[in-house]
Structure 1
């Protein structure tokens, strides 16, 4: 699943499948329903999407307003909020194997990370839940509705552009902090042979969420260190004040 998220992410799990689903209903509604359904299965949270707009003839697509709620024990309503995800599809590859997506760009995603007194965090809980719900071994591709082999996908790059990160360390005696992460780029998802459309999202989400978690831990470390340094300086000032009074 792709950070995450993304995570992730999650939003991408069946975008691939949508590229070949052209019969029996609205493509956009199908993509929207699948993102929400599979996202909920993986995260055990009610994933929602406002709108999907896939334009195969232009080799483009967009997904708007995807949100991933937090587990109930956390205060933030959402763990992630993604305004717009754009897809750049290699049109010539639609009849080949694997189908190629040149890029998936997630514009200014927002991640809300909340730590507990025990040092746990919402994003870590979600990663663990996703890991639990993923297949434990490599599965064969599923046939499509007409009995044909499921298409494979390869994605050249996935970019999380300018993730706005909120980190709440209140439970650890600190406070809430904001940071904007440098672009996170995942490359060559699926490799030269590609992965089945129903599986490639799992790889992306795991990698993206792991990257966001890595950045979050770095922010946590820096802020706690800064707080400790501030306390030491305050104590030093108190000692000096006692000496000269």
Structure 2
């Protein structure tokens, strides 16, 4: 009897070791699948990730080419493409419910600001992510999670939260498309974005809340520089048009022409930017 029990225990140990090896050796692919699934759900657009390289023992990792497609109502182009994402973890927190990420660096993001009749694509993505994050406020887990899914935990288990001490997004660019540009695309640098202590004030943020924070920061900054560039281009165009009109005006009619042109210019600018 004792021999049978020992044999059974040995089989269990081997099975556990085999399962641990499987998950360790397939960690990169599991993380990739989770990011693509929940990223697509949060943005309501297709999210893909080219590769994941994690080093659990070193507490570091690198993600390559994370792409977010445009949502419905816009072109089939990529709205956001993050080149390389490098991160480092506090290894002492990996087994806890709140994982501390010491540093995240996102290099060479390419952002497309596309304005359509229904508004800007980045604002649409941001609203989708905000709506998704709101479902998990208070640390609630997703209602349909099941233990049978390798990428999910049982509904009774507390959701893992994250604190990101330092996040930097740099060396990016913003491309701007608008019907008023008549097929042209403007390109402007994306200013460096730095976020500190994400989730720290509330004892950790859910992955959905982190996505909202990061995509929100990218969207806000990209929208800001894109709108400024559109205003500059529109201002130059309308200024030239106004100069032509004023050049043909004479005497007392100049004041009236200027006043009329100024009002028309403002109206056209508002229409250009969808204001």
Equivalent residue for 1:132?
131
Matches of 1:83 and 1:94 in 2, distance apart? Answer: 26
Distance of aligned partners of 1:150 and 1:114 in 2 relative to their CA distance in 1, 3 Å threshold: closer
Matches of 1:238 and 1:48 in 2, distance apart? Answer: 51
Is 1:240 aligned to residue 247 of structure 2? yes
Is 1:167 aligned to residue 173 of structure 2? no
Report if the CA contact (8 A) 1:69-1:80 is conserved: yes
Distance of aligned partners of 1:87 and 1:181 in 2 relative to their CA distance in 1, 3 Å threshold: same
For residues 173-210 of structure 1, the C-alpha deviation after alignment (integer angstroms, 9 at most, x for no partner) is 794211112211111012166326xx1x2222222333
Give the TM-score normalised by structure 2: 0.68
Kindly report which structure 2 residues correspond to 1:80-119, keeping only aligned pairs within 5 A, or say none.
80-95=80-95, 98-117=98-117
Q: Secondary structure at the match of 2:127?
A: helix
RMSD of aligned C-alpha atoms? 3.0
Matches of 1:148 and 1:202 in 2, distance apart? Answer: 17
Q: Secondary structure at the match of 2:87?
A: strand
Equivalent residue for 1:38?
38
What runs of 5+ residues in structure 1 fail to find an aligned partner? Answer: 1-21
Matches of 1:233 and 1:166 in 2, distance apart? Answer: 24
Q: Secondary structure at the match of 1:179?
A: strand
Q: Which has the higher helix share?
A: 2
Equivalent residue for 1:176?
185
Matches of 2:140 and 2:132 in 1, distance apart? Answer: 18
What runs of 5+ residues in structure 2 fail to find an aligned partner? Answer: 1-19, 142-151, 251-275
Q: How many residue pairs align between the two structures?
A: 218
Relative contact order (alpha carbons < 8 A, sep ≥ 6): 1 or 2 greater? 1
Max Rg structure: 2
